Chains A and B, each alone.
Chain A
C-alpha cells in the first residue's frame, strides 16, 4: 500500500474511544495540540472581547445562514445564474464520485500533469488527491500546513491549521529532508521562507489550480476566499484555469452579508482582527485572473441533513474551528482521534450526518457536553443539543436491529427505564442494590471496580456507594404527613 492510499483510506476505520486511546499515549502530539489551541484560544478571546457588538454579529450570522438553508434551492440557482452570466461554469455533483469525475475531466482536458491547490477540506472529503494521483496528475498543496501534511504523508487534524499537531522542529526536519535543505534554520520565519521559495516557481508555471471556497455569493455570483499566506491569491490569480469545489451550504444571499462573516470568521479562526487576505471575484474578468473558471457545487450527503429540523443548523458552519480550540476533549486527543476530515465538536455532528449515520457513530459520544463549543460558535450552532439529538438517533437505530435489541446495553437500559418508571419498583431495586453492592464497596466507602460494561465508569473514577437510606425513605420516615420523626434534631 502506498502512502497516499493509506492517507485517504484511514478515515473511519476505528471508533473514537479506540483511536483516542492511542493518541493519548503520544505526549509530543498532545503537547503540540495543547500549545497551539491555548495560543489561539487566548488570541481569539482577546479580539472577540474588543467588539461591543459580538453577540449581535453572532445572531445575524446565525440568522442569515439559517435563512439560506431554509431556501437553499433558491439561493443556489440564483448563484448559478449570476455566476454563469459573469462567465463562470457551474457544475453540480451529488456525490464525491461525480465531483472527482468533473474535476479530473477538466484537468485532463487542459492536459495538466500538475495542479496547485489551496487548502480545501472539501477536496479531502472527496479524496480528490488520491483520484488525481491515480490518473498520473500531481496535486501540489500550497498552504503551508497542507504542504507539511502532504510532505509528511500525514492527515490534517484541524481544518484551519491542519498541521497544528506538528511543531517547528518537526517541520524543519521534514523540510530539510524533502526540500533538500540541510542548512535550513529553525525559526518559523526560516520555514516560511523555505516554503516561499519552494512554491514560487510552481505558482508561476502551473496552469491549473483547485480551490475550495468560504462563501458563494448569490446576488453577484461571486466567490470569497479567506486566507493568510497569499498562496490562495496566487492560485486564484495566476493560473489559466481555476476550479473551485464548494459545498452547497456555503452560499450567502448578498455581497454585503460578508460584512458579518468577515468580522466573525477571522476573529474566531485565527484570533486576528482580519486575516491578511480576503479575495472576492465573479466568473471571469478579462485581463485579471484565470481565463476559465469552474465551480463544482458539492452535495455529498448535505441535502438530506436539511430534513432534520433539529440538526439542520449543523450546515450553518463557516469552518472557523473555534469549537475545536475550545473543546476539552479535542484539547486532549487532537484531531486524529475523530478519524474524520472534520474533527472536533462540529466534526462530531457533521461527519455522522454526512454519512447518513452509517459512519462515525461513536462521534456524538466524543463530548462531555460542557457547552464551550456553542459558546464560541460565531453562527450559534447549538452543538451540544445536536450531539444529544444524534445520540438519540444512534440508540433508536440500534434498537431497531435484532442485535441491538438483544444487546446487553439495550437490555440494561430498558430494565433501568422499567425500574425508574415506578416508585415501588425503584425502591425494590434500591434495596437489592444495597445488598448487591456489598461485595464491591471498599473500606473507604467507594466502589473502585465494576464488572462487565460498567467497568468503563470505574476505570478512571470511583463511584460513591449507595447510602443505607435513600432520600425517599428518609422523606417517608421524617417529613411525609403521618410520619413519626426520629427523636433527634434535624437541620430542616
Chain B
C-alpha cells in the first residue's frame, strides 16, 4: 500500500506537537463536533424575493445570465419543445447531444438528438452542442448547477461541446448560494459543476473575456 507512508505519521505528529494536543481521540471528536456546530453563521441563509412570487427571482437570474453574455429564453411547461426548436433554429443548429433521462417532451420534431452516454471527448467534440437540465439555479450569482443525474449526465457532456442549452424549471431556482447548498446536500458526493455563464478568462488585463476552453455559447431556457 504505497499511500501509507511514514510521511503520514510525521505530518500528523508535527501537527499534534504544534497544537499541543493532549485529548484522547474519542473525547476530542465529540468536542470538535460541538465546536463546529457553535461557529458563527449569521450570514443570509434565505433570500427575500421568492416570498413576493417567483417573478423577482426570474428577473434577477435573467439579469445575471445576460450580464455573463448567456442567452435567456422563457417557455411554459407545455411549450418546451417548441422553444428548444426556436432556439436551435436561431442558432442554426440541426441537432444536439443529450444525456440519458431527457424527457421526450423537451425535444422538437425535425432536429436530431443523439443520446451521448459513453461518448468520448472526440465524439462530443464533433457534436453541435448539448441539451441538459440542471439540479438547481442560483439567481443572485447567475449560476446553474449540474450533477451526475438524469437529464444532466457526466461532466464531460456540458464541457466539450461548444454550445450548451440548459433547461431550468422555475421550481429549481433559489435566490441565495446557501439555499442551493441546502438542496444539494443530499447528493453532495456526486460530481457537481457550478456554471456561471459561458467559459471566460480574466487573465489578460483583468477583463472578462468570453470563450476559452469550456462552451463558448450558453443558452438558458426558463420554464415558468
Contact = CB atoms under 8 A, between A and B. Distances in A.
Interface of A: 32, 35-37, 39-40, 43, 52-53, 56-57, 59-60, 63-64, 67, 70-74, 76-77, 84, 86, 89-94, 98, 142-145, 148, 161, 163-164, 167-168, 171, 188-189, 191-193, 195-196, 199-200, 203-204, 219-222, 228-231, 233-234, 237-238, 248, 253, 255-256, 258-260, 262-263, 266, 270, 272-282, 285, 287-289, 297, 299, 303-307
B177 A195 contact: no
Nearest to B190: A285
A262 B121 CA distance: 29
Contacts of B195: 276-277
A171 B205 CA distance: 10
Given A237-B155, A259-B181, A289-B155, A253 B202 contact: no
A70, A145, A228, A276 pick with most chain B CB within 10 angstroms: A276
7 contacts: A145-B203, A191-B204, A199-B213, A228-B203, A234-B159, A277-B196, A280-B188
Contacts of B197: 276
A274 B196 contact: yes
B205 A188 contact: yes
B209 interface: yes
Q: Is the interface of A mostly helix, strand, loop or mixed?
A: helix
Contacts of B50: none
B159 to A, nearest CB: 5
B64, B154, B214 pick with most chain A CB within 10 angstroms: B214
Contact of B212 (A32, A67, A144, A204): A144
B63 to A, nearest CB: 11
Contacts of B115: none
B199 A229 contact: yes
A60 B188 contact: no
Interface stretch (B1-9, B78-86, B88-96, B165-173): B1-9
B104 interface: no
A230 B164 CA distance: 13
Interface in B93-126: 118, 121-122, 125
A352 B186 CA distance: 42
B29 interface: yes
Nearest to A195: B212
Given A204-B122, A281-B192, A93 B207 contact: no
Given A59-B42, A237-B156, A306-B15, A192 B209 contact: yes
A91 B211 contact: no
A76 B141 CA distance: 31
Contact of B214 (A60, A67, A74, A276): A276
Give me the 6 closest cross-chain CB pairs, A-B, nearest first: A230-B214, A229-B212, A306-B18, A307-B18, A230-B213, A274-B141
A186 to B, nearest CB: 11
Nearest to A258: B181
Nearest to B187: A255
A73 B64 CA distance: 41
A238 B43 contact: no
Contacts of A37: 206
B28 A192 contact: no
Contacts, number: 269
Contacts of B154: 287-289
A57 B41 CA distance: 8
Interface of B: 2-3, 5, 7-8, 10-12, 14-21, 28-29, 32, 35-36, 39-44, 64, 68, 118, 121-122, 125, 138, 140-143, 148, 154-156, 159-160, 177-178, 180-182, 184-185, 188-215
B220 to A, nearest CB: 14
B5 A200 contact: no
B194 A167 contact: no
A274 B3 contact: no
B36 A67 contact: yes
A63 B212 contact: no
B155 A277 contact: no
Nearest to A295: B3
A164 B206 contact: yes
Given A92-B8, A171-B204, A274 B213 contact: no
A229 B32 CA distance: 38
B5 A168 contact: no
A259 B41 CA distance: 11
B205 A238 contact: no
A303 B11 contact: yes
Given A39-B206, A192-B211, A304 B193 contact: no
Given A53-B42, A230-B215, A238-B160, 6 more contacts: A63-B40, A148-B203, A199-B213, A256-B188, A277-B195, A285-B191
Contacts of A238: 121, 156, 159-160
B154, B159, B180 pick with most chain A CB within 10 angstroms: B159
Nearest to A275: B196
Nearest to B121: A204
Nearest to B216: A196
Given A35-B205, A270-B202, A60 B191 contact: no
Contacts of B39: 60, 63-64, 67
B5 A234 contact: no
B10, B122, B201 pick with most chain A CB within 10 angstroms: B201
B213 A57 contact: no
A196 B212 CA distance: 6
A200 B43 CA distance: 41
Given A220-B188, A285-B148, A192 B206 contact: no
B23 to A, nearest CB: 10
Contact of A297 (B11, B36, B141, B148): B11
A184 to B, nearest CB: 13
Nearest to B20: A307
Nearest to A255: B188
B66 to A, nearest CB: 13
Given A71-B32, A253-B36, A222 B43 contact: no
B118, B138, B177 pick with most chain A CB within 10 angstroms: B177
A276 B43 contact: no
B138 to A, nearest CB: 8
A307 B190 contact: no
Nearest to B154: A288
Contacts of B160: 238
A70 B188 contact: no
B193 A279 contact: yes
Contacts of B10: 92, 94, 299
Contact of B201 (A60, A94, A222, A228): A228
A74 B203 contact: no
